[in-house]
Amino acid sequence: MKKVLITGANSYIGISFENYVVQHYQKDLSIDTVDMIDGSWREKDFSEYDVVYHVAGIAHADVGNVSEEVKAKYYAINTDLAIETARKAKEEGVKQFVFMSSAIIYGDSAPYGKEKIITKNTEPQPSNFYGDSKWQADKGVRKLATDNFTVTVLRPPMIYGKGSKGNYPTLSKMAKKLPVFPDIENERSMLYIENLCEFLCQVIIRNEGGIFWPQNAEYTKTSDMVKMVAETLGHKIFVSKVWNWGVGLANAIPGKPRGLANKAFGSLTYDHELSNYEFEYQLYDLHTSIIRTEK
C-alpha cells in the first residue's frame, strides 16, 4: 500500500480524491492531508509518505484591475509554495510528487466563432498572471525530477462535478432557470471529477511521471451540456439557433459582454491523442457525469 499526503486541506479536488480512494482503492492507497495556510506544514515529516499530491493554490482569478500585491500573492502560493513543497518532498525521500497544473497555461480559449486545439507541440503562452503563476510552477517542479524522484504534472481542462466551483455551477444555474438558450457550435475539453480521481489513482499506483493531459472521452458543446442539465432536473428549456444573435451582439461589445460570450461559448480542446494512455480512466461519459453531478 502506498501512503499519499495531500498538501492543501479542504480543497474540492483533494476531498474528492480522498473520498474516491476510500470507495475504490482502499487496499492500494492510504490518504493523509496537511493544511498549507500557515507555515506549520514545514515541520511535518514527509519521509513516511510514498507520494505527495499538491493541490494547494489560488484559482479562478479575476484578472481585471488587480493590484501588484494581489498578483504577488498568486505567485507566492501557486508558484513558490508548489516548488518549495516539491523540494521538501524530494529532500525527505518521497518517491513521487504529483502537481496540478492547468490548461490555463495555454492562454484563453478561442473567441466566439473560432477554434483552439492544443497538441503535444503547442507551447504554453499564459495570457495573464494567474496562468503564468501556474506555468512557472509547472516548469519549476519538473526541474526537480530524477530517477529516484518521479514528478507527475497534470494539465487538466475545466473540472466539474457535484460541489465544484467555477464556470460549471454558473451554467448549471442558467440551465435550471432559463426558458431558452442559444445553440452555438463550440467545443470544450472538460474533465469530470471522478474521471480525474481514477486517473490520479492510476498514475500513483503505476508511479507514472511526466506531463499528462487528462480529459473526458468526448468534447462538450455548451448548448448540449446546458440542455442535459435541464433534462436531468426535469426543467424544460428550448435550445435554438434563433437566440444566437444575442451571443453575437454580446461578442460585438468590448469589455465584459464580449468576455462573458467568449467564456461561455469560446472553444478550447486538447487533441484526443494527448489524453490516451495505457490505462482506462474515462469511466463516465458526459451525459452520465451530468446526472451524477446534478442528482
**What span, in angstroms and rounded, lies between the C-alpha atoms of 74 and 135?**
12
Q: In this predicted structure, what is the pLDDT of residue 37?
A: 87
pLDDT value of position 219: 97
pLDDT in the model for residue 295: 87
The CATH number of residue 83's host domain is 3.40.50.720
Helix H, strand E, coil C: the string for 132-147 is: HHHHHHHHHHHCCCEC
98 is a domain residue: yes
In tens digits, what is the pLDDT along the chain, a chain of 295 residues? 999 999 998 899 999 999 999 999 999 999 999 999 888 999 999 999 999 999 999 876 666 677 888 889 999 999 999 999 999 999 999 999 999 999 999 999 988 888 999 999 999 999 899 999 999 999 999 999 999 999 999 999 999 999 998 889 989 999 999 999 999 999 999 999 999 999 999 999 999 999 999 999 999 999 999 999 999 999 999 999 998 988 888 888 887 778 888 888 999 999 999 999 999 999 999 999 999 999 8
Give which of 115, 157, 113, 112 is closest to 262, Cα–Cα. 112
| Strands annotated E in 105-232 | 117-118, 150-154, 158-160, 180-182, 190-192, 210-212
Tell me the whole-structure pTM to 2 decimals. 0.95
Residue 119 belongs to some domain of the structure: yes
Q: In total, how many domains does the chain have?
A: 1
Q: What is the dihedral of CA 215, 142, 3, 88, to 10 degrees?
A: -140
Report yes or no on 129 lying in a domain.
yes
Looking at every residue in the chain, the average pLDDT score rounds to 94
The residue type found at 277 is: Y
Is residue 100 one of the residues assigned to a domain?
Answer: yes
pLDDT tens-digit map of 55-76: 999 876 666 677 888 889 999 9
Containing domain of residue 113, as a range? 2-160+190-217+269-284
Question: Is residue 79 one of the residues assigned to a domain?
Answer: yes
User: Is residue 112 a part of any domain in this protein?
Assistant: yes
What's CA 234's distance to the chain center, in Å?
28
Query: Which distant-in-sequence residues (6+ apart) come within 8 Å of 225 by Cβ?
Result: 171, 175, 286, 290
The answer to whether residue 42 sits within a structural domain is yes
Residue 60 confidence (pLDDT): 66
